[in-house]
Amino acid sequence: YNEYKSYLSDMYMLEVALVTALAVLSSAVEMTFELQEHEVQCFHEYIPGNKKFTLEYQVISGGHFDVDCHIMSPDSKKLYNEQRKQYDTFIHTSTEAGEYSFCFSNEFSTFAHKQVYFDLDLGEDDKASPGEQGADAHATALTQLESSAYSIHEALRLVVDYQNHHRLKERIGREIAEYLCERVQNWSIAQTVLIIIVAFGQVFILRKFFDRPMPRGTSSKVGI
């Protein structure tokens, strides 16, 4: 019975540690969206003051895989402005709290729509990791479980980031391969049609050379 109570106590401490670890998760926003031609899409996020955030975006498909991007602060100042970029990463620390705007533009494109992926990471809260808060923290089983859960969370977050980047690279590679395959197929069809047209044209011209009309007054029969 005592062993069972100890097991329940350990499970309870583990649950508390996991909840504590989830409480310090970094806030992040990931999205993949369609950007039509001559279109601008803006996303807004409230960011506290003195907060470090990271924006990472990449064009997955469409056109020449490029897009315009700019970031506006709450006082309408441009913090970032790049044109026709395939991918980029912007790291900034906010100087004031407010609503920041993240805009993507495809206005320069006439008929090609794009598919864009972006990841907005607001970073971690300004606090120590679980088990290290306060100078007089006791090295109890609870704080050790908190530290272990926090370390596992950090490792899993890195794994998720690597998986997302791998999926993006794989998808972009597939899009490029399909685009090249389509171009090669269309070019092969055009070459085949051109060869057929040239062949029939040569036959037609050669027949014209030998099908000249005979002069009037001459008989088509040759006497013997």
pLDDT in tens, 13-70: 555 545 554 444 456 678 889 999 889 999 999 999 888 898 989 898 888 888 999 9
Tens of pLDDT, residue by residue over 180-192, are 898 899 999 999 9
The answer, as to whether pTM is greater than 0.85, is: no
**Angle subtended at Cα 52 by Cα 128 and Cα 116, rounded to the nearest 5 degrees:** 125
CA dist 100 and 79 (Å) reads: 10
Residue owning tokens 């969206």: 33
60: CB partners within 8 A, 6+ apart: 32, 114, 115, 116, 117, 168, 171, 172, 175
d(C-alpha 49, C-alpha 132), whole Å = 24
Of the candidates 102, 42, 49, the one whose C-alpha atom is nearest the C-alpha of residue 72 is: 102
